[in-house]
Amino acid sequence: MSAQFAIPATTFVLRAILDARLKAAYAPFQPPKVSVEPPPRPPAPPSGNGQPILETAGLILYMHHAGPNPTWRNMYDPHVDASGKPFRKAPLVLDLHYILAAQGADLEREALLGIGMSAFHRNGIVPRPMIQALLGAFPPPNNPQNLMDKLTGEPLHDPTSQPEQITISQQPVDVDLSTKLWSALQSPIRPCANYLVTTVFLDTGEAFPVQPEVQSFVIAARPVPDPDADPAGDALLSTEEEP
């Protein structure tokens, strides 16, 4: 997985899962949108005696934290070949923490949260063919105009670049942590659930430089174990050149 697209490609797939579930649940009505932005502040109340502005219904899928996966961390760092030579560094393996929140008026917020939670519950382990289909539905343009135009070309479904499947699991969060999170977001608390999405592999793109092969070696000895002594006085024991 490329370092620039592994995380947003995962969020893209999660949002597509939510969009599909909302479309099915709201049919034949227009489904609300799924935002990946931080939870917004509520609309300002109108001045005078006007009616309060109702909040637009929708789901919020916000990735607020990325941490190292404890199982994969430094498991194979560095990668070595059959002869024991390092050839590249291990990928950065991350667990992504998301908040799924619902906004809207009256009880529609609770309905939206239930729809979103059921969508993630049905896809606790996201199948590779589903990932390929969701990303393949929006192929990258032939002439991308910006970096994110190439997002859907990320091989999130390919086991060679993504060894583990993407899993979605709900995480219990106590009132204290939830309060701190919403305070940091500077947004009023909304019906929400927290999820752990694992595991995402980021290729750091670093490779070890090719080391020159040993062409010859010399074995010598000195009577005094002085590392600063002149090697010209060492007694030559053996010398050999590699064929």
Under a CB-based contact definition with an 8 Å cutoff, are residues 174 and 148 in contact? no
Under a CB-based contact definition with an 8 Å cutoff, are residues 226 and 25 in contact? no
Give pLDDT tens digits for 24-64. Answer: 999 999 999 999 999 988 766 666 566 767 788 999 999 99
Between the CA atoms of 126, 129, 135 and 136, what dihedral angle is there, to the nearest 10 degrees? -170
**CA dihedral sign of residues 60, 110, 135, 140:** negative
Under a CB-based contact definition with an 8 Å cutoff, are residues 111 and 155 in contact? no
Across-strand partners of 113?
none
pLDDT tens digit at each of 243 positions of the chain: 688 899 999 999 999 999 999 999 999 999 999 999 999 887 666 665 667 677 889 999 999 999 999 888 766 555 555 566 655 667 789 999 999 999 988 899 999 999 999 999 999 999 999 999 999 999 888 898 998 999 999 999 998 888 899 999 999 888 888 889 999 998 888 999 999 999 999 876 665 566 667 677 677 676 666 777 776 666 655 555 555
pTM above 0.75, yes or no: yes
**CA dihedral sign of residues 16, 19, 23, 29:** negative
What are the strands, taking DSSP E only, across 33-135?
33-35, 58-68, 79-80, 86-88, 92-103, 125-126
Strands 216-221 and 92-103: unpaired
**H helix or E strand, kind and range, residue 185:** helix 175-185
Across-strand partners of 60?
35, 101
Instruction: Report the amino acid identity of residue 100.
Output: L
- Residue 22 to residues 111, 138, 170, 202: CA-CA distances in angstroms? 10, 19, 19, 30
Side-chain-facing half-sphere of 145: CA atoms under 13 Å: 0
How far, in Å, CA of 141 to CA of 125, rounded?
29
